[in-house]
């Protein structure tokens, strides 16, 4: 057995250098990364030009990042890694609402609104009433649950993608449930939209023959004292991209029928009014791990 690096012993030779790593978890991560990387190179046998291309792609991915753009997360999203992590870390249990990707367009500091508030501030899109209940696994309503909600405008763009063009905090709001656990707010029917394609990830999607579209959805973060928060979306039933979401975010339990109601949807506020789409979705939270 040689003490020097060979094609056969490559991974083990590198891994042996981690023997003095003081953090066992970090050592496990590094060993696994090296084992998988070496197996990848042995399977693919990249030429020097191909390796250069790979390095250029990764470099460009980092260079595309700034305070408002995170191309690395977009790469993780479009390779299904974000969803795999999300699924492993929030395994479905106790009937709690399934989680999906946060995405890059969440904004902190959105104000709490009255129930029934219309989060659409630019008048684009088709009116929609979204309502439901937040409850625990036994169906008991949760009072004081906070629903942080955001979506694109009717043209399929988030306010932060069009600063100066859309009103600030357009299509965003926070709602707090009362004793009955119910929530309702007005918005517009969500539309499908493409993830940003003006960077290396867009070129990767193009080169692999993939589209960039996400099916229409509304984002939610639902939090309540004593319960695990849930980061999720609801999706519009019938959307053409449900089975080919560019970031693999769809879970069957999150697909909701959006129904056009001629009287505006009576919803919990029983207001009626001009025709509107209506959607109902109940959230189930699991107790926080102690
Ligand atoms: C989003 O739904 O906002 C999103 C998620 C992942 C990547 C890009 C956008
Ligand atoms: Fe989104």
What does the mean pLDDT of the chain come to? Answer: 94
Q: Which whole number is the average pLDDT over 143-166?
A: 96
Taking the C-alpha atoms of residue 154 and residue 190, their distance in angstroms, rounded to an integer, is: 7
Determine the pLDDT at residue 65.
94
Of 40, 77, 76, 222, give the one whose Cα is nearest residue 146.
Answer: 222
Of the listed ranges 121-125, 142-146, 189-193, the one predicted with least confidence? 121-125
Q: Which ligand 1 atom is at minimum distance from the Cα of 196?
A: 8
Cβ 75 under 6 angstroms from ligand 1: no
**164 pLDDT exceeds 60?**
yes
Taking only the tens place, the pLDDT of each residue in 55-82 is 999 999 999 998 888 999 999 999 999 9
Which residue's alpha carbon is nearest to atom 9 within ligand 1? Answer: 103
Pick 262 or 211 by higher pLDDT: 211
Is the distance from CB of 187 to CB of 118 less than 8 angstroms?
yes
- Cα distance between residue 50 and residue 72, in whole Å: 20
- Six-digit token pair at 162? 């069009």
pLDDT of residue 114: 96
Considering Cα of 210, then 125, then 222, then 256, what sign does the dihedral take? Answer: negative
What length is written for the chain?
290
The 8-class DSSP code of residue 123 comes to -
Q: Is the pLDDT of residue 273 over 90?
A: no
Which residue's CA is the closest to the ligand 1 atom numbered 3?
103
pLDDT beyond 70 at 1: no
How big is the CA angle at 11 (ends 8 and 14), to the nearest 5 degrees? 125
What Rg value do the Cα atoms of the chain yield, rounded? 23
What's the gap in Å between 103 CA and the centre of ligand 2?
A: 6
Q: Is 157 in the pocket of ligand 1 (CB under 6 A)?
A: no
Regarding the beta carbon of 83 and ligand 1, being less than 6 Å apart is answered no
Entry pTM: 0.91
DSSP-derived pairing of the beta strands 182-188 and 172-176: unpaired
Neighbours of 17 (CB within 10 A): 10
* pLDDT for the residue numbered 67: 82
Measured in whole angstroms, the distance separating CA 30 from the mean position of its chain's CA atoms is 27
Output the pLDDT for position 263: 75
CA nearest ligand 1 atom 2, residue: 103
Q: Are 284 and 95 in contact (CB under 8 A)?
A: yes
């Amino acid at each position: 057995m040689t003490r020097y690096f060979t094609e056969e012993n490559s991974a083990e030779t590198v891994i042996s250098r981690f023997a003095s790593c003081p953090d066992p978890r970090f050592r496990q991560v590094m060993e696994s990364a090296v084992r998988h990387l070496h197996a990848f190179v042995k399977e693919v046998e990249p030429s020097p030009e191909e390796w250069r291309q790979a390095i250029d792609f990764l470099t460009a991915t980092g260079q595309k990042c700034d305070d408002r753009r995170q191309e690395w997360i977009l790469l993780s999203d479009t390779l299904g890694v974000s969803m795999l992590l999300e699924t492993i870390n929030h395994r479905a249990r106790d009937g709690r609402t399934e989680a999906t990707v946060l995405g890059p367009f969440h904004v902190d500091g959105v104000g709490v609104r009255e129930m029934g508030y219309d989060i659409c501030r630019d008048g684009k899109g088709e009116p929609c009433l979204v309502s439901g209940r937040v409850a625990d696994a036994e169906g008991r309503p949760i009072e004081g649950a906070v629903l942080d909600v955001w979506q694109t405008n009717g043209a399929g763009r988030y306010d932060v993608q069009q600063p100066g063009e859309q009103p600030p905090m357009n299509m965003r709001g926070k709602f707090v449930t009362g004793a009955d656990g119910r929530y309702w707010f007005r918005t517009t029917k969500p539309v499908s939209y493409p993830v940003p394609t003006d960077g290396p990830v867009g070129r990767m999607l193009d080169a692999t023959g993939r589209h960039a579209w996400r099916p229409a959805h509304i984002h939610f973060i639902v939090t309540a004292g004593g319960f695990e928060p849930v980061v999720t979306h609801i999706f519009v039933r019938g959307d053409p991209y449900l089975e080919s979401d560019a970031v693999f975010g769809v879970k069957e339990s999150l697909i909701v029928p959006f129904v056009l109601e001629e009287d505006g949807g009576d919803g919990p506020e029983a207001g009626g009014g001009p025709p509107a789409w209506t959607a109902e979705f109940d959230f189930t939270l699991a107790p926080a791990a102690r």
